[in-house]
Amino acid sequence: MPTGLLLVDKPQGLTSHDVVARARRALGTRKVGHAGTLDPMATGLLTLGADSATRLLTYLVGLDKTYETTMRLGAATTTDDAEGEVVSTADPASVAAVTDEALAAGIRALTGEIDQRPSSVSAIKVDGKRAYDRVRAGEEVELASRRVTISAFEVLAVRRIDAGSGAHAAIEVDARIDCSSGTYIRALARDLGAALGIGGHLTALRRTRVGPFAVADAVSLEALAEQGASLLASPAEVAERLFPVLEVAAAQARDLGHGKLLTLPTQPDAEPVAAIERGAGGGHPDRLVALISVRQGRGRTLVGFPPDPSPASAQEARP
């Protein structure tokens, strides 16, 4: 059964679950999961795990992310993006009154550590039910604010659209945003528009980075269908990019597999640490044995990874 991490460039119009379903067919396994949902409107990097590598997904969800986005200021929608119904439209004079300085000040106020109220149409659960399901059922949903970090809110372009030809006056802002996990870019568009008094929503969103992984290294669904498991990055390769590494000998790997503690008198305290058994070539790749916790000279298994049943068939991976 194939195991590893897969980086997919999700096209617009598909749900994250749609991508998982296609990966299951291409890899020939039901055991595929993803870390970090992308809305159907959004495109870009979706990280998937297959077989035992799904155990790494927990550690991918919390990584910082980068997005490229277009925000349309001048109208608010029910979903804070272009897929929702317009609930308010600013008059042209109000839009025209928004100066470049006011726009820059509004962006500065949304940079750094901020309290953000997630969009009501989100996957957050309220009393065991997804918020978007409650909204679609006609319920009023007001989610609690959460602390998020916007480490960069870089404006790439600003376009001012007049009200000619029957269009609504608006300001379109293209931006690149670096943020912590749990940030809603739709909510940034909503809050920027609200702060300027003209409303706002998202019209385009592309995720370009998750932690150390970039969309430039992702594959298309067409490539996945053609090449399948050869595109998987091995758990060892992924772990080396995420965690400090402890190289273990075969005897230590067996001990970890049996739940035994390792004696590591010179290893600094850390958690998690990737315990990796190096391959000797000849079809025997490096193997992620476990993620361990090292405390006071002892290593304890947090998450174990079974041996590849057919290492000779493993393909070298590339995230």
Backbone phi, psi, residue 202, to 5° = -95, 135
How does DSSP classify residue 122?
Answer: S
| Cis-peptide, bond into residue 244, ω within 30° of zero | no
The pLDDT of residue 297 is 94
Q: Are 190 and 72 in contact, with CB atoms under 8 Å apart? A: no
E strands, 31-120, are: 32-35, 43-50, 65-73, 75-77, 86-89, 112-116
The pLDDT of residue 145 is 86
Model pLDDT for residues 120-155, shown as the tens digit of each residue: 666 555 556 655 565 555 556 667 788 999 999 999
The reply to whether 174 belongs to the active site is no
Specify the pairing of strand 200-210 against strand 43-50. Answer: parallel
Question: Quick check: do 4-63+211-231 and 65-210 share a fold?
Answer: yes
The pLDDT of residue 79 is 86
Classified as helix, coil or strand, 45 is strand
Architecture of the domain made up of 65-210: 2-Layer Sandwich (3.30)
The pLDDT of residue 124 is 58
Q: Which of 9, 18, 39, 64 is catalytic?
A: 39
Nearest to 228 by CA among 312, 309, 315, 286: 315
CA distances from 170 to 45, 82, 146, 185, 205 (A): 29, 14, 29, 19, 18
Nearest to 73 by CA among 207, 179, 203, 167: 203
**Percent of the chain topping pLDDT 70:** 86
Kindly report the CATH number that applies to the domain delimited by 4-63+211-231. 3.30.2350.10
Model pLDDT for residues 212-249, shown as the tens digit of each residue: 999 999 999 999 999 999 999 999 999 999 999 999 99
Specify the pairing of strand 146-161 against strand 170-179. Answer: antiparallel
The pLDDT of residue 136 is 58
How does DSSP classify residue 11?
Answer: P
How does DSSP classify residue 159?
Answer: E
Mean pLDDT over 94-121 rounds to 93
Superfamily holding 235-313: PUA domain (2.30.130.10)
pLDDT of 93 > 70? The answer is yes
pLDDT of 168 > 90? The answer is no
Domain definitions of the chain by residue range: 4-63+211-231, 65-210, 235-313
Q: Are 171 and 98 in contact, with CB atoms under 8 Å apart? A: yes
